[in-house]
Amino acid sequence: MSNIVDPLVGQIAARVRTERERRRWTLAQLADASGVSQAMISRIERGESSPTAVVLGKLSAAFQLSVASLLALAEGAQDDAGAGAAVRRRADAAEWRDPATGYRRRQITGPHFPTEIAEIRLPAGARVPYPAAAFAFVRQVVWVLDGRLTFHDGDTVHELEAGDTIELGDPTDRVFANTSEAECRYAVVLTRGAQP
């Protein structure tokens, strides 16, 4: 039944299942912690459904991982620690696509690099909300590379143009929106903060 083309879907499925099992959570416990239905989590874990950016945000928040970490771990990048310079060719980089919005995310750094960097391409008219919990325990900067990003930081709205950056503060619900007629490309740079 699976007609999914995205090569990361199987890797995301395995990563979500591994993270859930590592915590010894049932599907019901993960559903309760994330607000994602058991049925959807089960379809994701079986590779029958590609999660949307919103669902990934909720799952990563439940695991206390950033979306970038969840996707980097799903990519299964090799451990480059101590190996000297690691070249990652653009052609070899896995790109995840949100089936709901067409949002595309490419992880720039590997899972063992101390700072996570991702390149995002947000299509015209796309809107991607994330819960406050998705930003817990991380310090994050958003850097607009091309286009225009309407960024909702709680109740505050920022209109960001190419070259603009925003350094995020305390966790709050956030929305990345492209209200323009052209694609917006931006980078997300984050480091993990203290965990409870």
* CATH 2.60.120.10 intervals, the chain: 90-192
pLDDT of residue 172: 92
Looking at residue 52, what DSSP letter applies? P
Statement: residue 171 has pLDDT above 80: yes
CB atoms within 10 A of CB 128: 21
- The string of pLDDT tens digits covering residues 80-138 is 444 567 777 777 777 888 988 999 988 888 777 788 899 999 999 999 998 888 887 78
Q: Regarding predicted confidence, which is higher, 70 or 177?
A: 177
More confident residue, 182 or 85: 182
CATH topology of domain 8-75: 434 Repressor (Amino-terminal Domain) (1.10.260)
**Residue ranges in 23-148 assigned as alpha helix (H):** 27-34, 38-45, 53-63, 67-75
Please report the pLDDT score of residue 74 as a whole number.
63
As a whole number of angstroms, the distance between CA 124 and CA 103 comes to 10
Residues paired with 187 in a beta bridge: 119, 143
Contact 183, 147 (CB under 8 A): yes
In CATH terms, the superfamily for domain 90-192 is Jelly Rolls (2.60.120.10)
Residues of the chain with CATH 1.10.260.40: 8-75
